[in-house]
């Protein structure tokens, strides 16, 4: 077959490569809920991602906070692609060392690629060669619950002299599955999809914000409901001021344009016949067969683009979906599609100013070294003026299972200790994590993911708000179950259930923090529209603003909790809380705030 000759050449060169002393680089306990099916085929191709240290990342982080802090004189002075690439570039010695190492194993420059900043390499190699390079053994692993299959190892080593020059190599120890955050999904009879009062027959006044909301919004959430609830009725945007919004799509979730038109006819007639730009990443498709429409993709695109029309929208469709069956005819393991997206978008000169992602996984399934590296990539986007929103998860304080009765809140470090399980990428301090609410008046929805990171320390912008919350907790409550010094989740919230979308031609009611993230991103995009139209730069990394002058632009949610791990979870309370964050947006107030900084 095609790879046979190359494999033999690779192995022969590798056997002749200089012998070096390997030193353990990373090891993990045998991952919970995974079983070994057998050894990985030696000729199976994997794409090694080799990350080099970024010695000046602290300078990038410093500049990110300067341009994102409304009290700083540099606020809004976002960096260019060249400027951020310079700040994350590796030491030339590291670049030379890794290049030499690859050459020693028969991998010339023509057979690998480097990132624009030269801080990472990607090389497709047979498993047999990867095992020699990393002094390890790859196996085929299967998840015992849903059947996902990956090629991984639980430890790997590098030549000792390379340790200062290589931060991490993947795929090795990552067993994350990166699922969509969606808790509820059911078809409704299109003739009777809305059991609430007919629109226009009753009104609810929200006591927190004082806004008037149609009573039908209590059971069926539409674009109009969100604009009423979040004080954005009558807001119009520009199609030509340079503002854009982006939605990420993964796991063969296809955004159907015919469904979008039906949605527009139902909720946004002025947007009829408009669409979005589809961008393929790593060969991703957007199959327009109506039966292949994805609930996640349709939810994200219909509400994000519906809220912001006529702002141009981008939908990235990134290839890679489990289950994956490794054999010599399948060239690459694509169970980490979101890193493919990050590589792709970091290489673009022009990026939408607001991007929403409704996918994630338990933080503990992602090796800390890998999580930190990915989080650093999000920091780069923030420094370039991009706001990233991520759904906070649908398991309350528990793992990604939205059913508290079946959650497993045990650590996967071999100790099997019960802990609250934060989600990633929501736990990255350089993104905006979005929790969920329900009904009018708003209360916390019980599945709203919230808690504290075990990897990332609490960032300075959260210090006052989160300390105040912790001080109000009963002494000793949940002691040992969470890290009180960790980055706190979520930052904000929005409605997260009973969203009316169209899927495969039918009206559907759907929910999850996968609904709240594109909703909040939509309102951020409206704020960016106002700033750009006023000649101001986009908001970029928004958290420092939200936790300072932005606090007054939120509706504080004080009712509800997020159970999980056999506990009631945290309570929504006055001020920031680990269920709804700062609360839900009041667009009118936020617009005044962001135009004045």
Sequence ranges of the binding site for Ca(2+):
556-557, 575, 577
Q: d(Cα 563, Cα 407) in Å, to the nearest integer?
A: 11
Separation of CA 473 from chain center:
29
Q: d(Cα 511, Cα 514) in Å, to the nearest integer?
A: 7
Q: d(Cα 369, Cα 26) in Å, to the nearest integer?
A: 9
Instruction: Give CA angle at 417 (416, 422), nearest 5°.
Output: 105
Under a CB-based contact definition with an 8 Å cutoff, are residues 295 and 185 in contact? yes
Alpha helix (H) ranges present in 115-251?
127-134, 223-229
447 half-sphere exposure, CB direction, 13 A CA radius? 26
Residues with catalytic roles? 296, 300, 514
SS3 231: coil
Under a CB-based contact definition with an 8 Å cutoff, are residues 254 and 287 in contact? yes
Under a CB-based contact definition with an 8 Å cutoff, are residues 76 and 536 in contact? yes
Which helix (DSSP H) or strand (DSSP E) does residue 509 occupy?
strand 506-511
Establish whether the linkage from the previous residue to 486 is cis, with ω within 30° of 0: no
Output the known binding site. Answer: 556-557, 575, 577
Q: What is the largest CA-CA distance in the chain?
A: 81
Which helix (DSSP H) or strand (DSSP E) does residue 296 occupy?
helix 295-308
């Amino acid at each position: 077959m095609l790879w046979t000759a190359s494999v033999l050449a690779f192995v022969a060169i590798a056997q002749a490569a200089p012998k070096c002393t390997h030193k353990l680089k990373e090891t993990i306990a045998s991952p919970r809920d995974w079983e070994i099916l057998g050894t990985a085929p030696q000729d199976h191709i994997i794409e090694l991602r080799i990350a080099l240290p970024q010695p000046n990342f602290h300078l990038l982080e410093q500049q990110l906070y300067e341009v994102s802090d409304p009290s700083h004189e540099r606020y809004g002075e976002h960096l260019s692609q060249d400027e951020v690439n310079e700040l994350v570039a590796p030491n030339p010695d590291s670049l030379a060392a890794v290049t030499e190492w690859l050459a020693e194993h028969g991998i010339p420059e023509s057979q690998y690629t480097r990132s624009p900043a030269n801080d990472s390499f990607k090389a497709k190699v047979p498993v047999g060669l990867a095992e020699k390079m990393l002094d390890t053994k790859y196996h085929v692993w299967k998840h015992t619950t849903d059947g996902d299959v990956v090629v991984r190892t639980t430890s790997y080593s590098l030549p000792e002299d390379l340790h200062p020059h290589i931060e991490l190599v993947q795929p090795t120890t990552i067993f994350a599955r990166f699922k969509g955050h969606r808790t509820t999904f059911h078809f409704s009879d299109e003739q009777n999809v809305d059991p609430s009062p007919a629109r226009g027959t009753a009104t609810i006044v929200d006591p927190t914000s004082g806004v008037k909301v149609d009573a039908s919004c209590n059971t069926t959430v539409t674009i109009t409901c969100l604009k009423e609830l979040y004080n954005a009725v009558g807001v119009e945007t520009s199609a030509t001021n340079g503002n854009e919004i982006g939605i990420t799509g993964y796991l063969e979730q296809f955004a159907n344009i015919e469904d979008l038109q039906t949605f527009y006819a139902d909720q946004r007639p002025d947007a009829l016949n408009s669409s979005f730009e589809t961008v393929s990443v790593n060969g991703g498709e957007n199959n327009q067969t109506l039966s292949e429409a994805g609930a996640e993709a349709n939810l994200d695109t219909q509400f994000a683009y519906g809220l912001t029309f006529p702002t141009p929208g981008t939908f990235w469709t990134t290839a890679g979906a489990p289950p994956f069956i490794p054999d010599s005819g399948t060239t690459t393991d694509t169970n980490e599609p979101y890193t493919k997206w990050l590589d792709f978008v970091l290489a673009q000169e022009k990026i939408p100013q607001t991007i929403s992602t409704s996918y994630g996984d338990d933080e503990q399934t992602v090796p800390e070294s890998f999580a930190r590296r990915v989080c650093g990539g999000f920091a780069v986007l923030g420094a370039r003026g991009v706001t990233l929103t991520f759904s906070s998860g649908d398991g309350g304080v528990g793992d990604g299972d939205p059913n508290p009765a079946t959650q497993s809140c045990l650590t996967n470090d071999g100790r099997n200790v019960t802990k609250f399980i934060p989600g990633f990428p929501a736990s990255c301090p350089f993104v905006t994590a979005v929790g969920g609410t329900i009904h009018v008046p708003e209360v916390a929805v019980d599945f709203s993911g919230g808690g504290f990171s075990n990897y990332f320390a609490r960032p300075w912008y959260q210090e006052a708000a989160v300390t105040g919350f912790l001080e109000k907790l009963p002494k000793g409550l949940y002691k040992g179950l969470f890290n009180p010094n960790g980055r706190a989740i979520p930052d904000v919230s929005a409605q997260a259930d009973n969203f009316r979308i169209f899927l495969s031609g039918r009206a559907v009611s759907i929910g999850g923090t996968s609904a709240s993230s594109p909703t909040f991103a939509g309102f951020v995009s409206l704020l960016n529209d106002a700033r750009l139209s006023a000649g101001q730069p986009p908001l970029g990394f928004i958290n420092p603003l939200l936790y300072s002058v932005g606090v007054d632009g939120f509706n504080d949610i004080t009712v509800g909790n997020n159970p999980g791990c056999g506990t009631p979870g945290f309570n929504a309370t006055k001020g920031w809380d680990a269920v709804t964050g700062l609360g839900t947006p009041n667009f009118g107030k936020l617009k005044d705030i962001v135009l004045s900084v």
